[in-house]
Structure 1
Amino acid sequence: MAKKKISKQDELDKTFLALKKKIKPYQKKMKVLLDKPHRYELCSTADYEVTSERTGKTTKKKDPYFVGLILQRTYVGFYFMAPYIEKGFMDDFSEAMQKRLKGKSCFYFKSTEEVGPEVDRLLKKGYAVFKKRGLL
């Protein structure tokens, strides 16, 4: 029996849902900023301070952004802030995961096959970083 070919859009929709499923357990301890069919965002509820490296000025902030998903036309954007917070955060992840990283905090996923155990490890490690830094 021939395998039914899935459209690119259906594959992206499934990829979005697979990533969202991996993120959902963290919403119990955080706040959902946005939950729409093609966009999902999660943040902490902590207050924190940021000091500018350039000016030395300290600014009070609220609700640090943890993770977000955006279903784009050709990929699902996985926006994850932990690599910004922790130097060397991505050092122990596979080359395949590092290739999905565009810039410092956005990963591109194009299929459900790419959403594996390493995404779980990424989220778990990021959560631990947030906890260690008092951002939860």
Structure 2
Amino acid sequence: MRVLTELEMNEFNKTYDFLNYYIGTAAYKAKKIQEIKFDGSSANSEIIKFVSGFKNLHRAEELDITFKAHHTELQKINLMFNETTAIHKKAVMKRLIKYCFNNRVQPHRLRMRGWKNYQIIKDETPVIVEYGTAA
């Protein structure tokens, strides 16, 4: 994986903050990602895929977290985003960036609201991350 530019890193930071706030705060109420509503609409498919990727995760070595069998994917994400130390944030950011690069997902797609209308938070123009070949 290549070194990210400052603008690209800012995109990932915004996405981290969005996931931390919206997914983290909603996870204690919902059992499935499909139950979470963003401004009255269901989560978009990219957020659902990202969250569903945690279903079979049993341990996050870099975070020193072991999940219990009864934890749902939302609870796992909530536990991962719950800690706000710099070391913890860096480890979760690394996982987020790796997910986006491996799946060629633009980070702003993980912070959209709504299912059909795909409005980006704060009506900003996102920075498009280039997913070329690894250097």
TM-score, normalised relative to structure 1: 0.31
Greater fraction strand = 1
TM-score (norm 2): 0.31
Higher relative contact order (CA 8 A, sep 6+): 2
* CA radius of gyration, larger in: 1
